[in-house]
């Protein structure tokens, strides 16, 4: 999720959160860690006084992405499949490359 061209992170409460801390919390959430584990990790790394604001900003960041534009998602999917196909050809995984071609065709039909 985090990239060089990051989406603007929301501020919560009276203070603005450290964007790197918020992105780290989002990354931990995306690994499938429990909320408790993420909160504990945030508290350990950034301090207990910042945990609530960082977690609130991380959840707000996720909410901002709850309703993406369908064309944007299809475009991203196409580009991701194309990159996957390229890597499969590079590694000689032709069976997977064929499946990826089928996925691209199905995506184009929608």
**Average pLDDT for the chain:** 87
- Tell me the per-residue pLDDT of 48-99, one tens digit each, with 9 for 90 and over: 999 999 999 999 999 999 999 999 999 999 999 999 999 999 999 999 999 9
User: What is the residue range of 20's domain?
Assistant: 1-67
Burial state string for 35-73 with b = 16 or more CB within 10 A and e = fewer than 16: eeebbeebbeebeeebbebbbbbbbebeeeeeeeeeeee
Pairwise pLDDT comparison (99 vs 7), residue with the higher score = 99
Domain tally, the chain: 2
Q: What is the pLDDT of residue 108?
A: 86
Does residue 52 sit in the same domain as residue 6?
A: yes
Whether residue 57 contacts residue 23, with contact meaning beta carbons closer than 8 Å, is answered with no
DSSP 12: B
Q: What is the pLDDT of residue 15?
A: 52
Q: What is the pLDDT of residue 8?
A: 56
Does residue 32 sit in the same domain as residue 75?
A: no
Whether residue 61 contacts residue 22, with contact meaning beta carbons closer than 8 Å, is answered with yes
Could you say which of 67, 82, 98 is where a domain stops?
Answer: 67
Does residue 85 sit in the same domain as residue 42?
A: no
Does residue 29 sit in the same domain as residue 60?
A: yes
Of the pLDDT bands very low, low, confident and very high (cuts 50, 70, 90), residue 109 is confident
Does residue 63 sit in the same domain as residue 10?
A: yes
């Amino acid at each position: 999720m985090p990239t060089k061209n990051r989406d603007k992170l929301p501020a919560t409460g009276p203070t603005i959160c450290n964007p790197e801390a918020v992105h780290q919390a989002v990354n931990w959430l995306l690994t499938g860690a429990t909320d408790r584990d993420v909160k504990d990790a945030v508290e350990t790394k950034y301090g207990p006084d910042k945990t609530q604001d960082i977690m609130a900003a991380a959840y707000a960041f996720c909410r901002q992405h709850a309703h993406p534009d369908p064309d944007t998602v299809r475009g991203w999917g196409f580009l991701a499949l194309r990159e996957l196909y390229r890597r499969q050809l590079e590694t000689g995984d032709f069976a997977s490359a064929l499946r990826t071609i089928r996925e691209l065709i199905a995506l184009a039909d929608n």
